Structure 1
Amino acid sequence: MNRLVLGIDAGNHRAKVVGPFGVDTFKTNICDWFERDVEERFGSDDMEFEINGRKGFAGSIAEYEDEFGNGTMYGDSKAHEDTKIRVLLAIHRYLAKYCPHFDRIAIVTGQPIKRHKHTEKEEIKRMLEGIHEYTVNGKTHSIIIEGIGVAPEGSGAFWSSPSTGTIRILDIGSGTVNAATIIDKHHVNNASTTFNFGVETVNNKNDISTIARGVIRNTTKLKWNKNDTVLICGGISEAIAPYIIEHYPNAKIMEPELSRGNGITKLHPVFANAVGFYELAKGAYG
């Protein structure tokens, strides 16, 4: 193996990374660099970085130290510089954790369904492809990203545990909700979209029943049937599932499966997109 293949879900709240050696996750908060009088440690994912001339902090430290909010850029598109930083930091952490000898990388990452357009996918590929030199926590690295796929979020999660028939997927994230319809392993556009709200962007993020009602109301506009098979993924899956099941009785929480060696590991549903992206990456670049 001379090239590392990864699936990277560069979420607004946490990044999830899946590859041949295991998984990783970290907070994706980012803030600008400043000189610290007291160098406090906030979490194991604290990172001080310099990427393409931009200096900053990422991880738990950025959640606390950002003067303009919580250090996260929300929205229904990933075609922006913060995504580039998140992806490069995700690769850096995976290499440091599992396989520091790799320098050639191929990835599949995600874009919300609603903005999964050719121009935006090409923008994501353009900003990620090629040679990257960057410094994280005082150490400089150089990698080559030589293969990039951009999959629709939600639909990508399907490949973490594929099946036949009509499958609806609710990918409930911090900034968006992706509602995907897969029929016989094909994405159906007119029954899929992205809702531009998420767990961290509603007025009361602790009122899970209200979030669930918002999700359900919007899926009825897509003409989903109450008896459809609905798979739920995202970090809030366990908490929100009972409320989704009240309307969709056949809904259940996704169980993404990561094949490693001779075994299969079941992961938390928050990893569904990343596992699906990894499966797609193996097919394209493995």
Structure 2
Amino acid sequence: MSKLILGIDAGNHTAKIAGPYGMDSYRTAICDWFERDIVESHGADDMEFEIDGRKGFAGSIAVYEDEFGRASMFGDTKAHEDTKIRVLLAIYRYGKKYGIDITDVSLVTGQPIVSHKPTDKEAIQQMLVGTHTLHVNGETQSIHIVETGVAAEGSGAYWSSPEGGTVRIIDVGSGTVNAATIIDKRYINNASDTFNFGMETVNNKEDLASVARGIIRNTSRLKWHRNDSVYVCGGIAKDMLPFIQSHYSSAQLLQPMLQEGNAVTVADPVYANSIGFYKLAKGAFG
């Protein structure tokens, strides 16, 4: 087929992929390979892989079988090998889901705002661009990534449903929270930041009110105001929204819109970054 353009949000908990055929997601847990005495299925996204010399398991199986108790690489940068594995498996899964033979790919992926710097962006691009050989669940495939863009998480989500004026984005992730300010479609550095906590790194994942208070305190330091136009996205967005609204009364869910042919799909807020990245990729590489 001709070059495929994708937006890939390679999250620490879940990867979200958007492209011309629709969306996909999978659990991004990764663990080292071992010989299994009993082959048991843990989920539809179970993958046994060897990519560029690294062997392991990914998906639900890695959540249960990880020897070291943490099957994801957390932190405020995506410039590490787990990101490469996540992105390549995302491309592989997208092709399998939609029955397309993927060879050449151009994509935009994300990086937390605080680490959206030239050195980290270049590291991600150098890691991804090129030809990669994948062995996944007994099948072999070569994927050539032609070009890669790296967008800031949170501000990238804005492009999934852009509007004028001053817009604040709260992107609640598993490892970080990205807070972005866009004014007249321009990113504002001194009113944006990454907070080094997320839903998988806080002590009590069920205490959403406490997490929201942390977000509100940190965004207040950025001089966000109570009546600002605030949009919330990420996997926990729907549950988090009422707690954000306790301070930002006008806060609402970000509703990403993906156009496939003549049809427009209003997607779940968890896909905001991937759809925003896809729109940026189409603009850059289409």
- Residue range with higher mean Cα deviation, 252-261 or 97-106: 97-106
1:241 is matched with 241
State the TM-score, normalized to the length of structure 1: 0.99
C-alpha distance in 2 between matches for 1:208 and 1:86:
27
Letter in structure 2 aligned against 1:27: R
C-alpha distance in 1 between matches for 2:241 and 2:127:
36
**What aligned pairs does 1:29-68 form with structure 2 within 5 A after superposition?**
29-68=29-68
RMSD: 0.7
1:88 is matched with 88
1:269 is matched with 269
C-alpha distance in 2 between matches for 1:101 and 1:68:
36
2:186 is matched with 186
1:147 is matched with 147
C-alpha distance in 2 between matches for 1:128 and 1:220:
36
Cα displacement (A) at 1:70 = 3.1
Letter in structure 2 aligned against 1:48: E
Letter in structure 2 aligned against 1:208: L
C-alpha distance in 2 between matches for 1:134 and 1:92:
8
- Show CA shifts across 1:125-167 (max 9, x none): 0000011111000111001100100000000000000000000
Q: Given that residues 227 and 249 in structure 1 are in contact (C-alpha distance below 8 angstroms), is that contact kept between their aligned partners in structure 2?
A: yes
C-alpha distance in 1 between matches for 2:277 and 2:25:
15
1:205 is matched with 205
Letter in structure 1 aligned against 2:138: G
Partner of 1:147, secondary structure, is: strand
C-alpha distance in 2 between matches for 1:240 and 1:96:
33
- Residue range with higher mean Cα deviation, 237-246 or 94-103: 94-103
Letter in structure 2 aligned against 1:127: M
Partner of 1:134, secondary structure, is: strand
2:22 is matched with 22
Letter in structure 1 aligned against 2:175: G
C-alpha distance in 1 between matches for 2:172 and 2:100:
33
2:283 is matched with 283
Moved over 4 A (4+): none
Q: Where in structure 2 are there 5+ consecutive unaligned residues? A: none
Letter in structure 1 aligned against 2:24: D
C-alpha distance in 2 between matches for 1:59 and 1:94:
14
Partner of 1:247, secondary structure, is: coil
C-alpha distance in 2 between matches for 1:28 and 1:21:
21
C-alpha distance in 2 between matches for 1:192 and 1:277:
18
2:4 is matched with 4
Q: Percent identity?
A: 63
Letter in structure 1 aligned against 2:35: E
- Residue range with higher mean Cα deviation, 5-14 or 100-109: 100-109
Partner of 1:248, secondary structure, is: coil
C-alpha distance in 1 between matches for 2:262 and 2:22:
14
**What aligned pairs does 1:101-180 form with structure 2 within 5 A after superposition?**
101-180=101-180
Cα displacement (A) at 1:69 = 1.2
Cα displacement (A) at 1:99 = 4.0
Cα displacement (A) at 1:95 = 1.0
Q: Where in structure 1 are there 5+ consecutive unaligned residues? A: none
State the TM-score, normalized to the length of structure 2: 0.99
For these two proteins, the number of residue pairs brought into alignment is: 286
2:214 is matched with 214
Q: Given that residues 175 and 196 in structure 1 are in contact (C-alpha distance below 8 angstroms), is that contact kept between their aligned partners in structure 2?
A: yes
